[in-house]
Amino acid sequence: MKGEYNNMGTTLIGFSILGIAKIFALFGLGIYIIFALVVVRQVNLMVETIEVGYEFFIKLIAWAHLIFAVFVFLTALNIL
């Protein structure tokens, strides 16, 4: 019985707990990419509706946010 509990916390019904955590982390980052896409869409709609003179910078920030979200996802995919 002592041998059964040596690896307690590393496996759960044959699945690695760290593996499950990695999957959840990548899933969460994927959801965040979808959020970043929605932000880009909303910014584009806002820029079409309201003209204030610095639309380019607002679009640039939205696109940089999306690119950074994708970069973080790919980095996590590589590291995890």
pLDDT (0 to 100) of residue 80: 85
Crossing angle for the helix pair 55-79 and 17-49, to the nearest 10 degrees: 170
pTM, full prediction: 0.78
Residue 3 Cα to chain centre, angstroms: 38
Between the CA of residue 21 and those of 3, 28, 36, 54, 78, what are the distances in Å? Answer: 25, 10, 22, 41, 15
How far is it, in rounded angstroms, from Cα 60 to Cα 62? Answer: 5
How far is it, in rounded angstroms, from Cα 68 to Cα 62? Answer: 10
What is the tens place of the pLDDT at every residue in 21-48? Answer: 999 999 999 999 999 999 999 999 999 9
The confidence band for 2, taking pLDDT boundaries of 50, 70 and 90, is low
pLDDT (0 to 100) of residue 11: 65
pLDDT (0 to 100) of residue 16: 84
Torsion of the alpha carbons at 54, 58, 63 and 66, rounded to the nearest 10:
170
